[in-house]
Amino acid sequence: KQEVTQIPAALSVPEGENLVLNCSFTDSAIYNLQWFRQDPGKGLTSLLLIQSSQREQTSGRLNASLDKSSGRSTLYIAASQPGDSATYLCAVRPPDYKLSFGAGTTVTVRA
Amino acid sequence: EAQVTQNPRYLITVTGKKLTVTCSQNMNHEYMSWYRQDPGLGLRQIYYSMNVEVTDKGDVPEGYKVSRKEKRNFPLILESPSPNQTSLYFCASRTDQSSYEQYFGPGTRLTVT
């Protein structure tokens, strides 16, 4: 059974600092990995999706890398802003299409 | 606007009182699913549906029922809620089982006393 772990569970940084969020998974047989953002009282918003054949994906200040063989993904957020404060979740999709989620990293960016 | 809606958003109830959480999507998606989110555990899938009248159990189906009579609606039913079902519930939909983009509803926070 796929296990997805996100460490740390919470992170607090001053505005302007780069954020590094980690996601690890136990079974490397995945189709893709997604990073989501969750705001209080709202659903999940998809940020980036990396196919299993890709090494990284970029969108604006966000960059996600994937090392399938070692079971790791990293989400980088450059020059953090208070508006980046949220919980970030990673999810992997194995061949049976069922998403397996990590517990998330709650980020606070201090102004 | 493409969206998934859930009602109610917040619910406090007592043990054993049947309740239904509704979910509706306006994107003509075939695939819909329900998740629960608990601290430290991430999202876990309760039930999913690949199309009308086709439903199947996810990872934590005990104590829940679903139905899919229409493509747009996928209600979650708790016949006899218990305190361990206190959680944050999300409905989600996507075009079909294999599609990548998944849309989530805003969540329903349920408290069972």
Listed by number, the residues of chain A in 63-92 with a beta carbon closer than 8 Å to a beta carbon of chain B are 89, 91
Task: Look at residue B100 and tell me whether its pLDDT is greater than 80.
Answer: no
Q: Tell me the CA distances in angstroms from B50 to A79, B22, B23, B29, B92, one per residue in order.
A: 41, 17, 15, 9, 12
Which range, of A13-17, A66-70, B70-74, B102-106, averages the lowest pLDDT? B102-106
Cα separation of A32 and A34, whole Å? 7
Which chain A residue is nearest to residue B49, measuring alpha carbons? A98
Q: Is B94 exposed, middle or buried (0-12, 13-18, 19+ CB in 10 A)?
A: buried
Residue A59 Cα, gap to closest chain B Cα (Å): 16
The model's pLDDT over B49-93, given as tens digits with 9 standing for 90+, comes to 999 999 999 999 999 999 999 999 999 999 999 999 999 999 999
Bridge partners, residue B5, by sequence: B24
Q: Who among B42, B97, B105 is closest to A89 (CB)?
A: B42
Q: Does B58 touch chain A (CB under 8 A)?
A: yes
Q: For all residues of chain B together, what is the average pLDDT?
A: 94
Task: Look at residue A47 and tell me whether its pLDDT is greater than 90.
Answer: yes
Task: Look at residue A17 and tell me whether its pLDDT is greater than 90.
Answer: yes
Higher pLDDT, A44 or A98: A44
Buried b (16+ CB within 10 A) or exposed e, A7-38: eeeebebeeeeebebebbbeeeebebbbbbbb
One-letter amino acid for residue B18 of the chain: K
Which chain B residue is nearest to residue A93, measuring alpha carbons? B100
Q: Does A95 touch chain B (CB under 8 A)?
A: no
Q: Does B44 touch chain A (CB under 8 A)?
A: yes
The model's pLDDT over B19-45, given as tens digits with 9 standing for 90+, comes to 999 999 999 999 999 999 998 888 999
Cα separation of A19 and B16, whole Å? 45
Q: What is the pLDDT of residue B40?
A: 84
